[in-house]
Chains A and B, each alone.
Chain A
């Protein structure tokens, strides 16, 4: 398996021939792209749940029914 590697040494691998900057900047950009697009929706989800939990707590302390308890906006028939 290791004979089929394109590089003979670690430094050769890190250097990428004449194209150190080009190859590694593309892979760095790719890594940032993947991380950001997976992290942001998860962070947004956590924040939304936190906000809704605070709101539910506030509503229950004010001794009111939770926000919008009356209606199901799930008009497409999501009932089980």
Chain B
């Protein structure tokens, strides 16, 4: 019954499956990203208060919301690492940390650029902003912890624990705008009708951008996990054969 689960944990199986998926993921991401960016930059109407800064939302919101997916992913992978000692889960967790740090940093930077004209300040110690900054430092902490521990197994266990503990921050970020009444506005309620200020002409491109950025997250996670598989499995015969089958790479 558990066979499929452990097959899923086989690095070779993951490597081959993801290799078949990648071209489709690239196509889907490119199409959605092109539609989303053109729509957001050219066709979304100027906001009556914010003017053209509304276009910043189509980068900031997808990047920020997907940065929240990183810690839950690492926590789930951490549980799998601790309970079943599945190597693939640890590789995914290891590769997710720097990608999540990138996402969090870009969310903070685009938020600052958006906040400057709208709030009149680049930065405030607002609940949402502060909890995002904590997420950034936690991710840096996970990366530093991994490189500080020499034994790979001990590093995997320590990072798994820190990821599970660090995931507590995610609901704090999510609900910070409701629990504390500070600068950052709560999530908007989008409506289906065209009369509402948040009608489809505002949220449809946002949904497209969220899907595109999600695909980007998945693709970059797959790419670095595949590298990690090759590095850790370089002594096994299938990687040796795979490297031998590659065209010689120029010096």
Contact = CB atoms under 8 A, between A and B. Distances in A.
Interface stretch (B107-115, B137-145, B187-195): B107-115
B42 A50 contact: no
A37 interface: yes
Interface residues of B, number: 59
A42 to B, nearest CB: 7
B246 interface: yes
Contact of B237 (A22, A34, A72, A76): A72
B240 A76 contact: no
Contacts of A44: 224, 227
Contacts of A50: 249-251
**What is the predominant secondary structure among interface residues of chain B facing chain A?**
helix
Interface string A14-32: 0011110011011101100
Nearest to A79: B12
Contacts of A16: 52, 55
Band of interface residues on A = 35 or more
Contacts of B131: none
A62 interface: no
A67 B106 contact: no
Given A22-B56, A25-B113, A30-B59, A74 B236 contact: yes
Interface in A24-64: 25-27, 29-30, 33-34, 37-38, 41-42, 44-46, 48-50, 52-53, 56
Interface of A: 4-7, 13, 16-19, 22-23, 25-27, 29-30, 33-34, 37-38, 41-42, 44-46, 48-50, 52-53, 56, 66-69, 71-78
Given A50-B249, A78-B10, A78-B236, 16 more contacts: A13-B42, A17-B46, A18-B51, A19-B117, A26-B59, A26-B60, A29-B110, A29-B113, A30-B59, A38-B219, A53-B246, A53-B248, A67-B234, A68-B235, A73-B232, A76-B87
